[in-house]
Amino acid sequence: MDSLTDRVKAHARALGFDLVGVAPARPPEHWPFFLGWIAQGFAGEMGYLERNLNRRGDPAQVLPGARSILCVGMNYHTGEEEKGGELRGRIARYARGDDYHDVLKDRLFRLLDFVRAEGGPGVEGRVYVDTGPVLEREAAIRAGLGWFGKHTGLIHKRAGSWLLLGEVLLTAELDYDTPGPDHCGTCTRCIDACPTGAILEPYALDSRKCISYLTIEVKGAIPADMREQMGDWVFGCDVCQEVCPWNRKAPATTEPAFAAREGLGAPDLIELLEMDQAAFSARFRGSPIKRTKRRGLLRNAAVALGNSGDRRAVPALVEGLSDPEALVRGHAAWALGRLGGDEARAALEEALGLEEDAEARGEIEMALEAIE
């Protein structure tokens, strides 16, 4: 007869999860490393990682009586990369379709219902996707879902690293899986390819330099010395995964929710910069990209246009100097400073006389200095 663990895993696969395993609900082995990482400031503005540390460091503080962590992985790799073009941006693959939090959580709650029905009365559980007080990559490794890559993501031998993770903390005692070995070997391709040098050494990431962090987690101005290195990324970054040898033969996802929405494979940067709030809300409803809010995405689009080297972007950036958000105006000014030319200079000089926000004024002044 199949064990409870076998039945639970079979049901998880039937729900569409590509990987499933079980780890013991004990304090994470990498807890001292995590605390040291936080202490060095590598989390940047992600203050939520420092909250509730007692809960994050012990599953029993999250769910009293926790015995097992049911870990799942879902493949979001959409296959061939859509070719970009002039004045086009890039979005990390996980964010081109529906919000993965909604996709995974709905199924994890159904999986929890199944465990409760099969495990008998008294089984309790908690569901988390990305935002809970769980060191999810360590839990996934202990559950046998893969190993900790040098880029700090989880890697599986067959699925590669295009994986979204979720967890169900359970009071039920399931059969634990065995962690596998590290297969990164001497490879350093992810470290070598990172545009900003965010991967300081194997398994150590300074989030403050990561393009994903800069385009999503930073809510105000992007540090000026990081903007040029962001290239054409407007939400997230996939460079370290694109160069990983374990992703060469990664299968494409069969989940329709992760298919790229129209125009998000290689988005038109000018179109993004010209969106008003109504257009942003309509286009990104149910998308992870809504997390940046309009001001953040338009800020990122302005930076990408500045990095394009294409002066055809100048008229749109000039319009950006009149945006309702000072954050967008400031980054449009920076982009105009990068592109240069008489039209950019004249628009910046006019904007300087009208700008009332101190930070945006500073951006305009620096942009004018860059042109001169």
Give the catalytic positions in this structure.
Answer: 130
What are the angstrom distances between the C-alpha of 127 and each of 56, 142, 167, 260? 14, 18, 6, 26
- Phi/psi zone of residue 197: left (φ > 0), alpha (ψ -120 to 50 degrees), beta? left
The rounded distance, in Å, linking the Cα atoms of 366 and 372 is 10
Is-contact 51 138, C-beta < 8 A? Answer: no
Joined tokens for residue 138: 């360590």
Is-contact 93 78, C-beta < 8 A? Answer: yes
Amino acid, single-letter form, for residue 114: F
Query: Could you tell me which of 306, 299, 304, 313 has the C-alpha nearest to residue 343?
Result: 313
The rounded distance, in Å, linking the Cα atoms of 97 and 256 is 8
Contacts of 327 (CB under 8 A, 6+ apart): 220, 221, 295, 296, 299, 360
Joined tokens for residue 89: 């941006």
Joined tokens for residue 349: 């000089």
DSSP state of 242: H
Cβ neighbour number for residue 20 with a 10 Å cutoff: 23
- Phi/psi zone of residue 286: left (φ > 0), alpha (ψ -120 to 50 degrees), beta? left
> How many CA atoms does the CB half-sphere of 362 hold within 13 Å?
6
At 222, which helix (H) or strand (E)? none
